[in-house]
Amino acid sequence: MLHLSGVRPLTQEESVEGSAAPFVGGLLTGLREGVEAALIIGILAGYLVKIGRADRLVSVWVGVAAAVFLSLIAAILIYAAAGGLTGPAELLFEAIATLAAAVVVTWMLFWMRRQATTLGGELRKGIDAAITNAPVTGIALLAFTAVIREGLETAIFLIGQAAAVGQAGGATAVLAGAVVGLALAIAIGISIFRLGARLNLGRFFTWTGSALIVIAAGLLAHGVHELIEIGMLPALMNPVYDLSAYLPDDAGVGLFARAVFGYRAAPELLTLLAQATYLVLGLIFYVRPTRAAAQANSDRVAPAATS
């Protein structure tokens, strides 16, 4: 919980294990979103250089800086507003934060998946229009709108992960992981656009996206559990099973699994159904080829078949 009154002190071993899990979640989020933002910035900057308008690069950086600043302000305000909540209000905030995070990351993953083949062209068209109509403010606004989406999505998802961690220091671990992930993303972006390094982006986004779907399923489960706790949803059966004696969710491996995957030793039926349904459907629809990819494959096969 964000307000940690009543949380028992953790042993040193539990603290290390419990902090590692939210750190991993934050790292994956920062890495994935950071690479997406780096690709967008790289496309904008690279196209400006290509068309001989490197003098407008400063407009890109102004837009990026403004987007990052506003994303940080939004995250701080939301987190600060939740800091003083207690009791049912705190549980309700946790439910809203985690459910919103699950919705946002789902939308983000599938939107990026659909736009992957056309995003570069749309950004280049946007630059052409901006140079014609408003070279300075237009390019800055284009960079701002492209990056602010990534920034707000990241902020909401990280707040949801922090809200789902029921221990002291969990939010700090999420933030630390995100910072490391963003640093790695910056390094990847520099390697690609400045050093010519090659990265299989399709495979990268598939694996990191699948990992985020698993994390989002856990956040969904946490949100449903909190709504059951405050009586807004029925449990249907509580618990379905109880593994507390074998794999408790407040220590050791169980604590790690709880923070990363949303594991609960004694889950309610509704929580279990929501998590399993989202996980199965999310992974099935995410990893299957898009229509654009399927069409591209068929276009490559057709000439070979007729030759």
pLDDT of residue 180: 93
Which pLDDT does position 283 carry in this prediction?
93
Looking at residue 290, what is its pLDDT? 62
Residues 221 and 268: their CA atoms lie apart, in Å, by 10
| Helix orientation angle between 170-193 and 12-50, rounded to the nearest 10 degrees | 30
What average pLDDT does this structure show over 267-281?
95
> Which pLDDT score, from 0 to 100, does residue 169 have?
66
Residue 298 has what pLDDT?
45
List the domain boundaries for the chain.
13-291
- Mean pLDDT calculated for residue range 236-258: 86
Between 60 and 9, name the one with better pLDDT.
60
Q: What average pLDDT does range 144-161 have in this prediction?
A: 86
DSSP annotation of 307 reads -
- C-alpha to C-alpha distances, 93 to 70, 82, 83, 167, nearest whole angstrom: 22, 7, 10, 16
Residues 25-47 pLDDT 10s: 888 888 888 888 888 888 888 88
pLDDT in tens, 178-231: 999 999 988 888 887 776 567 677 788 888 889 889 989 999 999 999 999 999
Percent pLDDT > 70 in the chain is: 83
3-state helix, strand, coil in the chain (%, to 5): 80, 0, 20
pLDDT, average across residues 128-151: 82
- Greater pLDDT, 15 or 160: 160
Q: What is the mean pLDDT of residues 130-136?
A: 74
Nearby residues of 298 by Cβ (< 8 Å), 6 or more positions away: none
pLDDT of residue 132: 76
